[in-house]
Amino acid sequence: MTPDSELARFDVVERLVHWSTAIMMLILIVTGAILYLPALALHVGHRGLVENIHVITGLCLLGPLALGLAGPWRKRLVSDLRRLDRWRPSDFDWFRTATRRSGLARDKFNGGQKIEAAFLGAAMVAALVTGVIMRFAPSSWITWATGATLVHDALFFGIVVAVVAHVAFAVSKPEQLFSMFNGRISRSWAKGHAEAWLTELEAPKVEIPSASEAKGGLAGPAARSAP
Q: Which residue ranges make up the site for other proteins (CB under 8 A)? A: 36-38, 41-48, 51-52, 85, 118-119, 121-123, 125-126, 129-130, 133-135, 138-140, 142-151, 153-155, 157
Please, which residue, 23 or 134, has the CB nearer to other proteins?
134
* Smallest distance from other proteins to CB 73, Å: 24
Question: Can you list the alpha helix ranges (DSSP code H) found in the chain?
Answer: 12-36, 38-44, 47-60, 63-68, 75-85, 111-136, 142-172, 174-182, 187-193, 195-202, 211-219, 221-225
How many residues does this entry show for the chain?
227
Please, which residue, 153 or 175, has the CB nearer to other proteins?
153
* Smallest distance from other proteins to CB 33, Å: 10
* Smallest distance from other proteins to CB 56, Å: 13
* Smallest distance from other proteins to CB 47, Å: 5
Q: How many CB atoms lie within 10 A of CB 87?
A: 13
Q: How many CB atoms lie within 10 A of CB 74?
A: 16
| Sequence-separated (6 or more) residues with CB below 8 Å from residue 225 | 16, 19, 20
